[in-house]
Structure 1
Amino acid sequence: MRRTLTRLALLVLGAASLPACANGYDGDRRGHGNDRDSVNVQLGPRPFFLVEEMSDGPLKKRLQHCAARRDDYKPTLFSIGHRGAPLLFPEHTKESYEAAARTGAGIVECDVTFTKDKELVCRHAQNDLHTTTNILSTPLANKCIKPFTPAQFDAAGTLVAPAAAECRTSELTLAEFKTLRGKMDAFNPRGRTVAEYQAGTANWRTDIHAGPTSGTLLTLKEAIALFKKLGVKMTPELKSPSVAMPFDGFSQAAYAQKMIDEHKAAGVQPRDLWPQSFDINDVLYWVRNEPAYGRQAVYLDDANVVADLPTAEQLKAYRAAGIRIVAPPLFALLTADTSGNLLPSPYARDAKAAGLDIITWTLERSGILADGGNGFYFQTFDSAIKREGDVFRVLDVLAEQVGVLGVFSDWPATTSFYANCTGQK
């Protein structure tokens, strides 16, 4: 969910801006359609492990009480499957999406890009096939824009040049894309062979669900059909192309429209769809040209550090332009005081004051928390994170003090458990 964009587009909205109106989350946070509410949500042991890992206090007691008395956990829109459930399953695969639904995610994400023949498929980036699929070990490797080059070392064994490759969906037809298998997103920069390069999965993830007969890649149409069968709502993200647009006559506007059209053709109602983009022009396109679906369009914030975040005035301009929902990374919403308490950030207060709803990303993506140095997502409040169970402190402040609509997670069971136990819808 990361790309660089400019906010200068807001400077020219002026009279073209749409009038402000009520917040866009439609309030229907229960009904999922189909038979989803009858599905037996299976959380597995991790949420319960995390509860026991918490420091003693009222929240721990509340969650322990819930864990002891409940066995009827339900899907929840508060829990959003980020790329499916990629803590344990290859991202954007059938198996990952099914795991997200089974662990209680009420909304699941398909990141959308396109193939050489302009068909929409689910991949986190147009140019990530070399790290998320087995392409380098197939004959299709010869279609990669940058073939695999092995790592180079000097006589002392010091790495001189890391292994590298780049393979794009836009270099493959849909038929070719469908022959690939998803794997855990990882690479080994010290790899001397393709096999070594395609290894590198973090030790807090697993390759156990990434075998040669799993990792099923999906088109957007197939993902929509699967999501409808699972009874989950949908949050497709229009990914920034790696190729120049228009691509063989396929414009950015046509790309943005096609993503909506495929949901419309499948009968997906506007209330069940949260289209996303890091490009404000995509979001404004939906607001203006597909107002029913644009009502829940999500503007993703690509800030890398606090200094990159929009000001209060910029947030007000988003709302005036018709944008109703923003989705910044976790660090944008939280801060910590000297006593180790987690608090809403200035950005969180400014966004709410501007009349914007908030979704955030991404939980369960930072590995072991207790060892400190938890990186990008925790950068503004890492000093307050001491235990694995602190993930529930994070969720509690996001839900009760910031008031987020939902939280993307790489393992939705954790967020689903919290939501079920605290009354989040």
Structure 2
Amino acid sequence: MSRIRRALAGGLALAATAGVCAAVAGASESAEAERVRQPVVIGHRGASGLRPEHTLGAYRVAISQGADYIEPDIVATKDRRLVARHDNWLADSTDVEKRAEFADRKKTKTVDGTSRTDWFTEDFTLAELRTLRTEERIPAVRPNNAVFDGLEPIPTLEEVLDLARRHGVGVYPETKHPSYFDDLGLSMEEPLVATLGRYGFDGRGDKVFIQSFETANLRDLRKMTTVRLVQLINGSGAPYDFVESGDERTYADLVKPEGLKWIASYAQGVGPSTSWIVPVDASGRLGAPTTLVRDAHRRGLTVHTWTVRNENEFLPADFRQGNTAAPDHRRATGDVGGWLARLYSLGVDGVFCDDPSAGVAARTEIFGS
């Protein structure tokens, strides 16, 4: 029996039992069907461990590796076009700093309560934004990705959807900073729903999820569309719409049974940080698993956790490998298969992976092809 199969031997039995109990308890049809299938693998910002994130190249690699879904984070331009960027600031993932013609666009703004000096998508038309070229966001950790700097423009949502449709994979868009964009008069929800509809991603049964770290926009989306919605759960803090409205609840409140009950009134799933499923201590080692997966399933919610990355820097200490004194230890690949096996054993319904091939390989070894 392989290492991954040994890691799963006990855990899968427990997860299967939990899934049956959830169905008996009245889990929704869509959530139950999602759990019956093998866990889905979501290409996090594409295959962002292998190409600069949110590029068509990254999405193509994710698709070639067998990802079930590709994830475009969505922000708005000045002319209300939707593009794939992790945030609305640009300096860390494009060549905007090198572009003299845009020097006067550099501004200091407060985004979700944090001041930042940068260039921002809402100050560019789509045509202007498309003249920029993408770059690796964390070259110190992923220097190999930097060889692709300058090769691609920022993709539009339409381009991502067209790519997904042509290759038969799902899409998993995330609305970024929705309250911030609402305050600018650049609400993203309406154009997102309309654009998804034009590409055939508009029904509960379609391969599409919409996700957000905020709650108000998901509740608004519930009135606009029947596609599945996922409430993201950050490892700390609170949804910014809660902060802005004076709601004292935090993400820690949302992962409690009552919080999950409330989420189930408007969403079909939760997207928790892995630390809500298996906490880590100050040394980075894993503690005892929580009951979050079981509790979410009892409410009929799917659980898609994030983010599995191959490098030691991003793995729990239990799964790091190599010489810890080596200068490139942070960048070295750890036992990502073992970490995925652990998460699969706890019954998660999907994982966001920077290298989707790792998620697919572990899934194939555990569940078969």
How many residue pairs align between the two structures? 308
Structure with max Cα Rg: 1
SS of 1:83's partner is: coil
The alpha-carbon distance between structure 1 residues 120 and 30, as it changes in their structure 2 partners (threshold 3 A), is: farther
Inter-partner Cα distance in structure 1 for 2:280 and 2:133: 42
**C-alpha contact 1:133 1:180 (8 A) present in aligned 2:** yes
2:174 aligns to what?
A: 237
The alpha-carbon distance between structure 1 residues 350 and 265, as it changes in their structure 2 partners (threshold 3 A), is: same
1:107 aligns to what?
A: 69
Counting only pairs closer than 5 Å after superposition, residues 12-411 of structure 1 correspond to structure 2 as 22-25=28-31, 27=33, 78-127=40-89, 129-138=90-99, 139-146=101-108, 165-186=117-138, 201-212=139-150, 214-241=151-178, 243=180, 245-247=182-184, 249-250=185-186, 252=187, 255-270=188-203, 271-290=206-225, 292-293=226-227, 296-304=228-236, 308-310=251-253, 311-319=256-264, 321-335=265-279, 344-364=289-309, 367-368=311-312, 374=314, 382=316, 384-387=318-321, 390-401=335-346, 403-411=347-355
Letter in 1 for 2:342: V
Of residues 347, 352, 366, the one that matches 1:422 is 366
The C-alpha deviation readout for 1:18-55, integer Å capped at 9, x for no partner, is xx861534837999xxxxxxxxxxxxxxxxxxxxxxxx
SS of 2:132's partner is: coil
The alpha-carbon distance between structure 1 residues 408 and 220, as it changes in their structure 2 partners (threshold 3 A), is: same
**C-alpha contact 1:83 1:109 (8 A) present in aligned 2:** yes
**C-alpha contact 1:125 1:239 (8 A) present in aligned 2:** yes
What is the CA-CA distance between 1:328 and the residue it aligns to? 0.5
Letter in 1 for 2:189: A
**TM-score w.r.t. structure 2 length?**
0.74
Inter-partner Cα distance in structure 2 for 1:245 and 1:109: 22
**C-alpha contact 2:131 2:153 (8 A) present in aligned 1:** no
**C-alpha contact 2:278 2:289 (8 A) present in aligned 1:** yes
What is the CA-CA distance between 1:209 and the residue it aligns to? 3.8
The alpha-carbon distance between structure 1 residues 289 and 419, as it changes in their structure 2 partners (threshold 3 A), is: same
* Structure 2: gaps (5+ residues): 1-25, 110-115, 239-249, 322-332
* Structure 1: gaps (5+ residues): 1-19, 32-75, 148-163, 187-200
**C-alpha contact 2:39 2:344 (8 A) present in aligned 1:** no
**C-alpha contact 2:312 2:334 (8 A) present in aligned 1:** no
SS of 2:63's partner is: helix
**C-alpha contact 1:103 1:412 (8 A) present in aligned 2:** yes
Inter-partner Cα distance in structure 2 for 1:335 and 1:298: 21
What is the CA-CA distance between 1:202 and the residue it aligns to? 1.9
The alpha-carbon distance between structure 1 residues 286 and 424, as it changes in their structure 2 partners (threshold 3 A), is: farther
Inter-partner Cα distance in structure 2 for 1:77 and 1:107: 11
Letter in 1 for 2:318: A
The alpha-carbon distance between structure 1 residues 136 and 142, as it changes in their structure 2 partners (threshold 3 A), is: same
**C-alpha contact 2:293 2:348 (8 A) present in aligned 1:** no
What is the CA-CA distance between 1:327 and the residue it aligns to? 0.3
What is the CA-CA distance between 1:316 and the residue it aligns to? 1.8
What is the CA-CA distance between 1:343 and the residue it aligns to? 5.0
Sequence identity, in percent?
27
The C-alpha deviation readout for 1:238-257, integer Å capped at 9, x for no partner, is 1115856342x44x4xx212
Question: Which segments of structure 1 move beyond 4 Å, counting only runs of 4 or more?
Answer: 28-31, 241-244, 305-308, 340-343
